[in-house]
Amino acid sequence: EKGGWPSFMAKEVAEEPEAVANTIRGRVRDGAVVIPELDGLDDLFTGINRIIITACGTASYAGLVGKYALEHWARIPVDVELAHEFRYRDPVIGADTLVVSISQSGETMDTLMAVKYARERGARTLSICNTQGATIPRESDAVVYTHAGPEVAVASTKAFVAQITALLLLGLHVGRVRGSLEDGAASVAELEALPAKLAHVLESEQGHVAQLAGWMADTRSVLFLGRHVGYPIALEGALKLKEISYIHAEGFAAGELKHGPIALIEPGQPVFVIVPSPRHSALIHAKVVSNIQEIRARGARVIVVAEEGDAAVLPFADEVIRIPLAGAFFEPILAVIPLQIFAMALATAKGLDVDQPRNLAKSVTVE
Ligand code: BG6
């Protein structure tokens, strides 16, 4: 039931702090991440030399955030591959490979086929899934459930932040097991602070972002730029807009701008830019700020998602959406919320059904 919300999507976005909190619960012990479902399965992480993350759609973008975190904390090579590409291209995999699948429903046929294929080739398999007892976890050697609760709206929101949360937990767990994790306690503190920060973003930016969407109801194209873990968030922001607002949208790695996409910039073109915190890397931050200058000089209408207190973006931004300070790998969970709200508000302004977008199904159970 919608419980007074205008749509399931609105309800599910509002449930994000809870989805993240429930996914963390029971998985922190004495200041370290210990995932009980993985007890006795250390070999899954020590007996391998690479990880392949496979998924479709929104789940694959969560996977990309997971790649950055896993490589950083667990010092193991990670690739992310769309399930339908992975399954049909004769990949090099075997007993030294852990294939991590991500699926809200646990029934997506493309992802299921990739998992089965990996198992047949001797790879180990772990699934991240939101639906207890679904087919993909049953076909996997191990499962880490996200506890987002049932997601009804076709466009994934709370499941996405729960998937990133589960991947961060997995990264910290694997990093600990492999002995490569430094300062795990600080990351655990970051994790535990997330739900309150999510609630803060929902409270402080909802009205502002909805207003922006109202102004932009006639927009025909929106671009999204991000760098580092902001890159998958740019991809997800664009996907949300395509899915429910039927507006052409594209996400780019900000560094790619000069290699092509900047040709798209003409006066009035709306561009969202996810700005990473300067506290994590002054260099990455400076590069993104310089991208903002470049597109602004060509007339783009720049909407920036930046950390509270980041004043460097102010001279070049038409709109600034603020997110609270958070660790580098924790920022994407906060930065995606305004983009979800934007897509939802724009679809609403266009009079569209945000829960049941045309041509899409919640779970695609055919290949
Ligand atoms: C698509 C849905 O068909 O499947 C997306 O419309 C979703 O929202 C994707 O991200 C993957 O679904 P699942 O259930 O495997 O996470």
Q: How far is ligand 1, taken at its centre, from the CA of residue 129, in Å?
A: 11
* CA atoms within a 13 Å half-sphere pointing along the CA-CB vector of 149: 17
CA-closest candidate to residue 112, choices 90, 148, 74, 84:
84
Q: Which helix (H) or strand (E) holds 198?
A: helix 184-215
In whole angstroms, give the CA distance from residue 195 to residue 332. 13
CA-closest candidate to residue 167, choices 363, 329, 362, 339:
329
Q: How far is ligand 1, taken at its centre, from the CA of residue 58, in Å?
A: 6
DSSP secondary structure of 325-337: ---TTTHHHHHHH
Choice from 13, 362, 366 to test ligand 1 binding pocket (greatest atom count within 8 A of CB): 362
| Each residue's pLDDT tens digit, 139-150 | 999 999 999 999
Res. 309 pLDDT band, cuts 50 70 90: very high
What interface predicted TM-score (ipTM) does this complex get?
A: 0.93
Res. 14 pLDDT band, cuts 50 70 90: very high
Residues labelled catalytic:
362
| Nearest CA, atom 6, ligand 1 | 362
| Each residue's pLDDT tens digit, 150-176 | 999 999 999 999 999 999 999 999 999
| Each residue's pLDDT tens digit, 68-113 | 999 999 999 999 999 999 999 999 999 999 999 999 999 999 999 9
The pLDDT of residue 140 is 98
- Mean pLDDT throughout 235-248? 97
Say if residue 188's pLDDT is above 90: yes
Choice from 54, 108, 152 to test ligand 1 binding pocket (greatest atom count within 8 A of CB): 108
The pLDDT of residue 1 is 81
- Cβ(294)–Cβ(252) below 8 Å: no
Mean pLDDT across the chain: 96
- Mean pLDDT throughout 198-220? 94
- Mean pLDDT throughout 183-195? 95
- Mean pLDDT throughout 129-144? 97
Say if residue 183's pLDDT is above 90: no
Choice from 82, 240, 363 to test ligand 1 binding pocket (greatest atom count within 8 A of CB): 363
| Each residue's pLDDT tens digit, 249-270 | 999 999 999 999 999 999 999 9
The pLDDT of residue 266 is 95
The residues lining ligand 1, judged by C-beta closer than 6 Å to any ligand atom, are 56-59, 103-105, 108, 111, 154-156, 360-361, 363-364
Res. 351 pLDDT band, cuts 50 70 90: very high
- Counted residue by residue, the chain has a size of 367
| Nearest CA, atom 15, ligand 1 | 103
- Mean pLDDT throughout 274-293? 96
In whole angstroms, give the CA distance from residue 126 to residue 46. 14
The pLDDT of residue 186 is 95
| Nearest CA, atom 2, ligand 1 | 362
Percent of the chain with pLDDT over 70: 100
The pLDDT of residue 7 is 95
Q: Classify residue 312 by burial, with Cβ atoms within 10 Å: 0-12, 13-18, 19+.
A: middle
CA-closest candidate to residue 145, choices 8, 31, 24:
24
What is the reported pTM? 0.97
The pLDDT of residue 347 is 96
- Cβ(151)–Cβ(11) below 8 Å: no
The pLDDT of residue 365 is 87
Say if residue 337's pLDDT is above 90: yes
In whole angstroms, give the CA distance from residue 27 to residue 37. 9
* CA atoms within a 13 Å half-sphere pointing along the CA-CB vector of 3: 7
CA-closest candidate to residue 345, choices 187, 217, 162:
217
Task: Give 78-147 as a 3 state SS string.
Answer: EEEEEHHHHHCCCCCCCCCEEEEEEECCCCCHHHHHHHHHHHHCCCEEEEEECCCCCHHHHCCCEEEECC
In whole angstroms, give the CA distance from residue 317 to residue 300. 10
Q: How far is ligand 1, taken at its centre, from the CA of residue 156, in Å?
A: 7
Q: How far is ligand 1, taken at its centre, from the CA of residue 56, in Å?
A: 6
Say if residue 26's pLDDT is above 90: yes
Say if residue 367's pLDDT is above 90: no
